[in-house]
Structure 1
Amino acid sequence: MRYGNFLNPKADSNNQFLKIWKNRINGLFVDKTDFINETLDRFGMDNNLIAFTKPRRFGKTVTAYMLACYYSKGADCKDLFSGLKVAGYAGVKQINGQEKTITYEEYLNKCNVLFLDMNNVNSKYKNYVRRTAKIEEVTDIVDFTEYLVIKELKEEPEFASILAKAGISNIGLNDALSEIHQKLNISFVFIMDEWDLIYREYRDDEPLQEKFIDMLTGLFKATEGLSCFSLAYLTGILPIKKYNSESALNNFKEYNMLMPGKFAPYFGFTEEEVAKISCQPRCQISKELLKEWYEGYKIRLYDKDAGTSRDIDVYNPNSVISAISEDKCQSYWSNTSSNAEAIRLINMNYDGIKDDIINLISGGPVLFDFFTFQNDMTSLDNKDQVFSLLVCLGYLGCREFPNAGTERYAYVPNREIRETLIDIVKGQPWYSSLPVVARSERLFQAIRSLDAATTAEIVGGIHNSPYVAAIGYNREDSLAFCLRSGLIWHTESSYDSFRELPAGKCFADLVFVPKSRADLPIMIIEFKRDYTAEDALNQIKEQDCAARYRQDGDEREVLLVGLNYSSETKEHHCLIEKM
């Protein structure tokens, strides 16, 4: 049997899943092979068409290569999968008219797989365009994609004679697969990674996009095409393109950041998986710090049998692994093209997007509706659609709430994304004129100069903003939000901030510690609701919250801030002392 790039790929050095598995000795391998179980349940069934889309660097390509490792005849991976989660699979299927209990070995390396990594295809196409000699039937990347796959089908002896007998010189992919299926009763597993590349890389070429979706429609909506596949799996960043309100491939069961369904645990690393990684000797970073930097994508998981739902806390897997490998938490969200896209979207400023982005960075939520989102990068004419795209790109998280339909709350998920968005905003010509920037400077200087009245006034103004009203103001957490959001534009680059930091005999509500500059003060802040600012300040002193900063000759200035909110008078009071 011939091993190809597209037909029955083998598990070799180009397989990204295999690379990660081979490095499992370092303790950073996370076993997600139970994802294969879901595809086994659907294999050969009516619901065997799956579209799974999530942001860059969230492991979608690794998952596609994992499926190729498992299903492809060209791979020999029994030893690989025998010790992983998928080995525990047990299911019941109708095979040849009889009910049969099957294990994970039923289809292991026994299927004809067509694997299309569209990034790889695009690279090959660009090299082809630069060539002098051209192929007559190839005029664009869609033609080129079909040409490459059919070329490999014709090079497989078992298929070559069938296609030759078809008597069609320029046979299309759908026709080629139909001939093979009808004559040999062979079905394929179809895997396409980066399915949406055409919509991202050729975003202004609508005829090409329509031609591409016509190719997929021919494969998966026409009866003769659909019967050729035991399983189809598409992965990318964008959900399947919609025309009006309907998906162009609405027979695919689709899972994405807006509607994750039962696949929520597979959108990234879960809290349990990160906790396990953090216990490995290779990891020198606490799970709490990993959580602050890279978690926050809360995706709702529904249990239909129990009639319940819960939020799954998902981490960016690439960033977690990068931080552990580099022994440093920082922003690994440095894809230039992706950031350029976020800049373009923010600067559209539909319905006051800039103001909403500022609020989101400060920690507030924004309500949006993804119903009219067309799942592409160009059909954008309102804020809802822009926020939908930012969620798909991973710059925003979104949270469902009961009976909300297609409405979601958008929010900035973690510190990595917040720092990235702050850098983006600071690079825009309109940044210096933002009122929140001046307010942030004024608040910091008020605290530093022990001006408690001005501090209380500014925090009160933030409290009375519509964004804070949207999240409620009935807990001390809300006071923390007001102060943190007020300071963020001045302190983000020069301070680390911590909520509930162990200090002295208790936990300090909020602490700002300079990253490096010795001339900046440490700020320890305690919040009280319906007590007094004196109570807040006294708690800092009585619990000796500043003790950790008086050790080893640390001579930095320490400011103690007590802040109170009265639910009866709706007033704020503040006291500030210097140690």
Structure 2
Amino acid sequence: MNQYNVISLSLNRIPNNCTSYRQYIERIESRLKRDLIHSFPAADICEQDALWDILTDIYAQENSAKFIFILDEWDYIFHRDFVTEEDKASYIDFLSNLLKDQPYVSLAYMTGILPIAKYSSGSELNMFAEYTMAAEELYSEYFGFTEKEVDVLFEKYLQNEPNSQVTREGLRIWYDGYHTKSGERVYNPRSVVLALTNNNLGNYWTSSGPYDEIYYYVQHNIAAVQDDLVQMISGIPVPAKISEYAATSMRLSTKEEIFSAMVVYGFLTYENGCVSIPNKELMDRFNEMLMKEQSLGYIYQLAQKSEKMLAATLAGDTDTMTEILEYAHNTESPLLSYSSEAELTMIVNLVYLQARDRYRKAKPV
């Protein structure tokens, strides 16, 4: 503490009415230059110089002054509509010139969703060591709340909330489901905090995008993913080959790329070679998609019958129940797996989709 100068940049901040990469990067450069001039008034700084030249001059004139760089959401700009391929290359060059082999850099710490190697085609940013929850065990516990951390938070919640409405099992059902490389269970931290703060189990998902983004990934290759989607909504994991480097936003053409993106962005979890929907919070989002999107074809049609199926069940109307099950079975199941137990499980789960909002499935005794 107090050993280094620290430059902290939130790279998801853009100028007002920003329509170009040039506006974006000029805001960063001008504001940082202004801060450096203010912080080092004795240094001979030319504001027209490149940012890295200014920092080099400060290092030379201020007794080898070194800096720690903390850059949050470094890859944010890659997902903006106004950014061209040339802009992306310029941005990589900017980061390389600023950080690579510079004497004033003591440490550079960057956070982002996708790996550096996805964007850096050469050696521009090869000085970084990258750590992800799925690929590296080191630091993986810090990507979310572990079981022990949730236990501690829940005990504090019970001590401070006389009318507690949240249960420990409820937190597990709603927000657990992610896994580190070593297999440790990890909870969505934002959702756990808000559930305990609000004294209410609910859907607080905002970390990687809303419902529309979930549908975007599925929409790009419905024919290849819709059957797997039904399995996952039925609680059955789906074998998949996941590559973080394939998960480039807005460029998804294969099932593997779609699932890779959904894992990286947190919509799915990956364990033992399979992808699945991690918890109730995300399951509700997928259920919502099935009930709304007509382009999902027969899946949408079957989901629409779930309200009628629930009503028929509660009324004891076995004729209607049989009719719906036969329709679902004949619509969804291919001939060769017509009597498969897994197929039948998926069908029953799909036609009872609406029941999930009102009932909990009992555990076997």
Name the TM-score, length of structure 2 as normaliser. 0.81
The verdict on how the C-alpha distance between 1:241 and 1:338 changes in structure 2, with shifts beyond 3 A counting, is farther
- 1:430 counterpart = 2:295: yes
Identity %: 27
1:352 aligns with 2:224: yes
Q: 5+ residue gaps in structure 1?
A: 1-107, 131-137, 302-310, 402-407, 501-508, 510-525, 527-579
For the aligned residue pairs, the C-alpha RMSD in angstroms reads 3.8
Q: Identify the match of residue 299 of structure 1 among 157, 168, 180.
A: 180
Which residue in the other structure is 1:364 paired with?
A: 236
Deviates more, 1:411-420 or 1:208-217: 208-217
Q: Identify the residue that residue 308 of structure 1 maps to in structure 2.
A: none
The structure where helix makes up a greater share of residues is 2
Q: 1:320, CA displacement in angstroms?
A: 0.9
- Residues 238-257 of structure 1 correspond to what in structure 2 (within 5 A)? 238-240=114-116, 242-243=118-119, 249-257=125-133
Aligned with 1:233: secondary structure? strand
Partner of 1:95: none
Question: Do structure 1's residue 415 and structure 2's residue 265 form an aligned pair?
Answer: no
Give the counterpart letter for 1:317 in structure 2. P
Give SS of 1:163's match.
coil
Q: Confirm or deny that 1:498 pairs with 2:361.
A: yes
160, 167, 189: which one aligns with 1:286: 167
Q: CA separation of 1:316/1:244 partners in 2, compared to 1, >3 Å: closer, same or farther? A: same
- Matches of 1:244 and 1:145, distance apart in 2: 20
2:173·2:280 contact (CA, 8 Å) conserved in 1? yes
Residue matched to 1:180: 58
Q: Which residue of 2 aligns with 1:392?
A: 264
Partners of 1:363 and 1:481 within 8 A in 2: no
Residue equivalent to 2:68: 189
Shift, 1:246, TM fit: 7.0
- C-alpha deviation, 1:153, in angstroms: 0.8
| Structure-1 separation of matches of 2:325 and 2:210 | 39
Distance 1:218 1:261, change over 3 A: farther
User: Aligned AA for 1:295?
Assistant: D
One-letter amino acid of the counterpart of residue 416, structure 1: E
Indicate conservation of the 8 Å contact 1:296/1:315, yes or no.
Answer: yes
Q: Deviation at 1:254?
A: 1.2
CA contact under 8 A between 2:6 and 2:67: conserved in structure 1? yes
Tell me which residue corresponds to 1:485.
349
Match of residue 89 from structure 2: 210
1:199 aligns with 2:78: yes
Aligned residue type for 1:300: K
- Do the aligned partners of residues 275 and 211 (structure 1) sit closer, same or farther apart at CA in structure 2, a change above 3 Å counting? same
Residue matched to 1:69: none
Q: Distance in 2 between matches of 1:247 and 1:374?
A: 19
In the TM superposition, residue 371 of structure 1 has moved relative to its aligned partner by: 3.6
Identify which of 111, 115, 126 aligns with 2:8. 115
Which has the larger strand fraction?
Answer: 1
Change (3 A) 1:443 1:246: farther
Tell me, yes or no, if the aligned pair for 2:59 and 2:65 is still in contact at 8 Å. Answer: yes
Deviations 1:217-251 (A, max 9, x none): 22233x2x2x3222111112333251598786232
Partners of 1:485 and 1:420 in 2: how far apart? 16
Partner Cα distance (1:479, 1:350) in 2: 19
Q: Which one-letter code corresponds to 2:226 in the other structure?
A: K
CA offsets 1:280-320 (integer angstroms, 9 cap, x no match): 2235211111000001011223xxxxxxxxx1111111111
Unmatched tracts of structure 2, length 5 or more: none
Structure 1 residues 245 and 153: CA distance shift in structure 2, 3 A = closer
SS in 2 for 1:143: helix
Report matched runs for 1:535-546 at 5 Å. none
Change (3 A) 1:335 1:230: closer
- Cα displacement string for residues 98-129 of structure 1 (whole angstroms, at most 9, x for unaligned residues): xxxxxxxxxx132200000123x31xx226x6
Alignment check: 8 A CA contact 1:190 1:232 kept: yes
User: d(CA) in 2 for partners of 1:293 and 1:333?
Assistant: 11
Number of aligned residues: 351
Q: Give the alignment partner of residue 144 of structure 1, picking from 24, 27, 30.
A: 27
Which structure 2 residues correspond to residues 422-461 of structure 1 after superposition, within 5 A? Answer: 422-431=287-296, 433-434=298-299, 436-437=302-303, 445=312, 448-449=316-317
Q: Give me the whole-angstrom Cα distance separating, in 1, the residues matched to 2:93 and 2:33.
A: 17
Partner letter of residue 149 of structure 2? E
Equivalent position SS for 1:381: coil
Quickly say closer, same or farther: Cα 1:147–1:271, change in 2 above 3 A: same
Question: 1:488-527 alignment to 2 at 5 Å?
Answer: 488-493=352-357, 495-500=358-363, 509=364
- 1:337-374 deviations in Å (ceiling 9; x for gaps): 53322222211126522332232222122233344735
Match of 2:16 in 1: 126
Letter aligned with residue 146 of structure 1: E
SS in 2 for 1:115: strand
Contact 1:240 1:248 in 2 (8 A): no
Q: Is the 8 A contact 1:370 1:388 kept in 2?
A: yes
Whether the 8 Å CA contact 2:233–2:277 is kept in 1: the answer is yes
Post-superposition Cα deviations, 1:521-556, rounded to whole Å, max 9, x if no partner, equal xxxxx7xxxxxxxxxxxxxxxxxxxxxxxxxxxxxx
- Matches of 1:218 and 1:350, distance apart in 2: 42
Match of 1:27 in 2: none
Amino acid at match of 1:156: S
Of 183, 197, 205, the residue aligned with 1:333 is 205
CA contact (8 A) 1:240 1:249 kept: yes
Could you tell me which of 38, 54, 60 is aligned with 1:155? Answer: 38
Take 2:362 and 2:224, find their aligned partners in 1: how far apart are those partners?
30
Rounded to whole Å, the distance in 2 between the matches of 1:246 and 1:424 is 40
Preserved CA contact (<8 Å) 2:146 2:186: yes
